[in-house]
Chain A
Amino acid sequence: MVAPPTASGLTPEFADVTRDESSLRRFLHGLPGVDQVGVEQRAAGLGTRSIKKASKLWAIDTAISMVDLTTLEGADTVGKVRSLCAKARRPDPDRPEVPKAAAVCVYPDLVETAVRALAGSGVGVASVATAFPSGRSSMRVKIADTELAVAAGASEVDMVIDRGAFLSGRYGQVFDEIATIKHACGDAHLKVILETGELATYDNVRRASWLGLLAGGDFIKTSTGKVSPAATLPVTHVMLQAVRDWHDSTGELRGVKPAGGIRTTKDAIRYLVAVHEVAGPEWLSPELFRFGASSLLNDLLMQRRTQLDGHYSGPDYVTVD
């Protein structure tokens, strides 16, 4: 049964859930638990799928089109961002048929550079915001951070949740922050970074996922890439299950983005298999699934050449940016 959405975008059932701190807590703690052994076993089991030939090539192209090409360094410069943008537009200059990356992901002050470099390309510009990566600042700063990114033309905002608030059980505060940032985003898509490496348990990952979805996040994202462990397969399973459950109860499609630590084509394909079999085939699109990565793209390009040419080439045949 899908209840009609209310003005706030939530079905009446979920509008009740988010009414106050205690109903939110009751709801999140009432979600079925996640069994650690079971979810890790399932992730390992699906990880043995063998993807070959045409299905592999399709997976590689799909993965390329899902990459949020990321640079989030203190040392980032205009030049670095420009070269990354060029890479996102044309990942393999020798082969124009290679799909474009989904987006370039940068710090807010470099959004303008990226927007200019990507104008007319169809590649999105994502900006991290809300005192990324720790999220330890005042709400005023977080809103200003978001507004800076959006004003500079970011089409997507990757916010971090306040893990301190989450872990001390102040779910209402986390919810309000996400909702406020969502409002500040305007038309830009909001990705909610849970930083699962700091949440520690799968039960927490599931609760944080629902919190992100209830508060209006378009995507839920595993990590900043600054904390270890970053994305893992079992964590992504739990999040994929959450968007699937969200769809089953509201009819809405929301996305998932694992970020950090995904470096090889083999890894990427394992994630796509999980998307395919846990969430469902309709999530196999850059609209609903992204990889937050930097080195992954080059491995995908090398594997793509291997598939088509029948032999390995080497890292000198792809561009290093």
Chain B
Amino acid sequence: MTTWEYAPAPENRDIANLKPNYRMFVDGEFTEGTGEPLKTVNPATEEVLAEVSTASTSDVDRAVKAARRAHDRVWGKMPGAERAKYVYRIARMIAERARELAVLESLDNGKPIKESRDVDVPLASAHFFHHAGWADKLSYAGYGPDPRPVGVAGQVIPWNFPLLMAAWKIAPALACGNTVVLKPAETTPLTALVLAEIVQQADLPPGVVNILPGAGDVGAAVVEHPGVDKVAFTGSTDVGKIIQRAIAGTGKKLTLELGGKAANVVFDDAPLDQAVEGIVNGIFFNQGHVCCAGSRLLVQESVADELLEKLRARVSTLRVGDPLDKNTDVGAINSAEQLRKITDLVASGEAEGAERWTSACPLPDKGFFFAPTVFSGVSQAMRIAREEIFGPVLSVLTFRTPEEAVAKANNTPYGLSAGIWTDKGSRILWMAQKLRAGVVWANTFNRFDPTAPFGGYQESGFGREGGRVGLEAYLDV
């Protein structure tokens, strides 16, 4: 038998236009921040990509004041139809620079180029397009005849979808007439700063969008600044709780999009081959660095063995390696710290008696990589069934009846997303009503669209992003 090895098919990294230094973006200008500069690393090679200047408390103050000025003098008063033109322009410019943004995203984040190219960047552009359309139609959104913006939005975003999360935050804010101070994640600041370049070239009035790189302290300063009217945060549940405490009693509006431990429920009448695809997409998409990842597979006992066999065979075909290679399915873990967290939780799974299976795929010598792993024989009491792993690790549990599936799926403090796999339409509707999750996918998983609201229950946060209901967070209602 012959073997067919795919030759390396790397995307050209020069397309990223990587610069040695990046600066923060405040009041329409790129300026040197007065915080301690940070070095951002390519997680696939551990090489330093660029030095990025960070914001200090006084920079945050300057940015919030600029945003306030821009809001009061220009942006908040501007007719929606005029704002729309700017937002459309951003959407088009993201699409025009899609390849550059995709390569840069993969370099900085470690996600495979096929995902940054086919998912992150097109969706980011789509979010601006969608919200640009709302800008002159807010009177018809169901929030009163002439809903007003909230004011200055302080936004803090995570490292798993750096550009996409920036788009999720900035697009609705701008469309509704708010101005923005946004802090990208410490490990992935680059695409947000290219987005700042686009904002500048799109000729937005100075101060409408401000991007301040930095670590958690910068985020805290943004969130706590008295000049901020609305806080939007996507990230861990722990930090979400800190933010909620910090702004309690201040009157600031808040939306939180936090962690998750989503159940992906497979019934015995499911289209099994596509369920396998959905399970793979649910947990190995973006190395499992997805807050709504389908990290708990609940499978009906009568098909569990057959499904697991198919799943292992499929996972064995996943190609782990160079994120810039167009044939890579699973890229690099974003940081050494995250890799350590995953390794720890996997060790706990083994210690607690779950049966570990890991793909035999080769891993690169350098960089932060973790082979796709499936734990079977997992019980609800184990840490790997309860804690968010945020890596390419799936926990498999079984159930016998639909009621048991609902009970187990809901048995988590989180509630961001869930998946249902069955050929029976009535069961999908029944389950969707019973599941405590903000997003329920039926016979698919990890599908995103700017028209569909996204958000969680309980410890997964509150508020919705996207769609008509997502506008509420950025309107004074």
Contact = CB atoms under 8 A, between A and B. Distances in A.
B277 A41 contact: yes
Interface stretch (A5-13, A211-219, A276-284, A298-306): A276-284
B5 A55 contact: yes
A282 B3 CA distance: 8
A55 B7 CA distance: 6
Given A50-B9, A52-B9, A34 B274 contact: yes
Contacts of B423: 33
Contacts of B275: 38
A58 B444 contact: no
Contact of B443 (A35, A42, A54, A55): A35
Given A35-B443, A38-B443, A241 B273 contact: yes
The number of chain A residues touching the other chain, given as a range, is: 20 to 34
A143 interface: no
Contact of A48 (B114, B273, B309, B444): B114
A59 interface: yes
B274 A282 contact: no
Interface stretch (B98-106, B169-177, B199-207, B264-272): B264-272
Contacts of B6: 49-52, 55
A55 B118 CA distance: 24
A50 B273 contact: no
Interface string A32-69: 11110111011000001111111110110010000000
B317 A54 contact: no
20 contacts: A32-B269, A32-B272, A33-B271, A34-B271, A38-B277, A38-B443, A38-B444, A39-B273, A41-B277, A50-B6, A51-B6, A51-B9, A52-B6, A52-B8, A53-B7, A56-B7, A58-B2, A272-B4, A281-B1, A281-B2
A37 B271 CA distance: 11
Given A55-B7, A282-B1, A50 B269 contact: no
Interface of B: 1-9, 114, 118, 269-275, 277-278, 309, 317, 326-327, 423, 443-444
Contact of A277 (B270, B271, B317, B444): B317
Contacts of A50: 6, 9, 326-327
Given A33-B423, A38-B444, A52 B277 contact: no
A50 B317 CA distance: 16
Interface string A262-284: 00000000001000110001101
Nearest to A244: B313
A33 B326 contact: no
Contacts of B9: 50-52
For the complex of A and B, 7 pairs with smallest distance between CB atoms: A38-B274, A50-B9, A50-B326, A35-B274, A35-B271, A32-B272, A53-B7
A49 B8 CA distance: 11
B275 to A, nearest CB: 8
Contacts of A33: 269-271, 423
Contacts of B118: 48
Nearest to B280: A42
Contacts of A52: 6-9
Given A35-B443, A37-B443, A42 B7 contact: no
Nearest to B5: A55
B444 A59 contact: no
A36 to B, nearest CB: 9
Contacts of A38: 271, 273-275, 277-278, 443-444
A32 B114 CA distance: 30
B177 to A, nearest CB: 37
B359 to A, nearest CB: 14
Contacts of B317: 277
Counting chain B CB atoms within 10 Å of each CB, which of A32, A34, A241, A272 scores highest? A32
Nearest to A276: B4
A150 to B, nearest CB: 30
A101 to B, nearest CB: 18
A284 B4 CA distance: 9
B447 to A, nearest CB: 9
Contacts of A248: 309
B103 to A, nearest CB: 14
A297 B396 CA distance: 47
Contacts of A281: 1-4
Given A33-B269, A37-B443, A42 B1 contact: no
A195 B416 CA distance: 44
B444 A37 contact: yes
Given A35-B274, A52-B7, 6 more contacts: A37-B274, A41-B444, A50-B9, A62-B4, A241-B273, A276-B4
Contacts of A39: 273-274
Counting chain B CB atoms within 10 Å of each CB, which of A42, A62, A277 scores highest? A42
Nearest to A242: B273
B358 to A, nearest CB: 19
Given A33-B269, A39-B274, A49 B2 contact: no
A255 to B, nearest CB: 15
Contacts of A34: 271, 273-274
A278 B352 CA distance: 34
B26 to A, nearest CB: 39
Nearest to B6: A55
A34 to B, nearest CB: 6
A248 to B, nearest CB: 8
Contacts of B327: 49-50
A57 to B, nearest CB: 9
Nearest to B3: A281
A32 B274 CA distance: 10
A67 B16 CA distance: 41
